Amino acid sequence: MTIAQVSKKYSLTQDTLRYYERIGMIPPVHRTPSGLRDYTEQDCGWVELAKCMRSAGLPVEAMIEYVRLYQLGDETIPARLQLLLEQRERLLKQRAEIDNTLERLNYKISKYELAAKTGKLSWDEPEQ
């Protein structure tokens, strides 16, 4: 696939794809004999992984380290596993924080929905 096709498929700009490759967030993309990027299924898999991890908030540095370890070979499997476990723990913590925020927000929404019906706010605790 050309860079334009990959850009469209994953809704990433061509500049972003080049950037990901340049900084090592994805391994070097296969090239045609004339030097043009020719994304293989494996290359696209890396793009998809990078996009997924970035959308989940994975730090760029962690993705770069993951790719570096991958390129070093199977002896880095334990290190890659550890990196992924740490990122999962980070995401679980973020999810717990979001869940707590949603719970509070839902509580406030329910109070405001009641206030919209009755015309006044009425709850025991101060406005927070």
Tens-digit pLDDT profile for residues 42-100: 999 999 999 999 988 889 999 999 999 999 999 999 999 999 999 999 999 999 999 99
Is 125's pLDDT higher than 60? no
CA distance to 45, 72, 84, 98, per residue, from 53 (Å): 12, 21, 11, 18
Tens-digit pLDDT profile for residues 2-57: 999 999 999 999 999 999 999 999 999 999 999 999 999 999 999 999 999 998 88
CB 70 within 8 A of CB 27: yes
Q: What is the DSSP code (8-state) at residue 33?
A: T
pTM: 0.78
CA–CA separation, 84 vs 70, rounded Å? Answer: 12
Please, where are the H alpha helices in 56-125? Answer: 60-72, 77-118
Phi, psi angles (nearest 5°) of residue 37: -65, 135
Half-sphere exposure of 21 (CA within 13 A, CB side): 18
Q: What is the DSSP code (8-state) at residue 32?
A: -
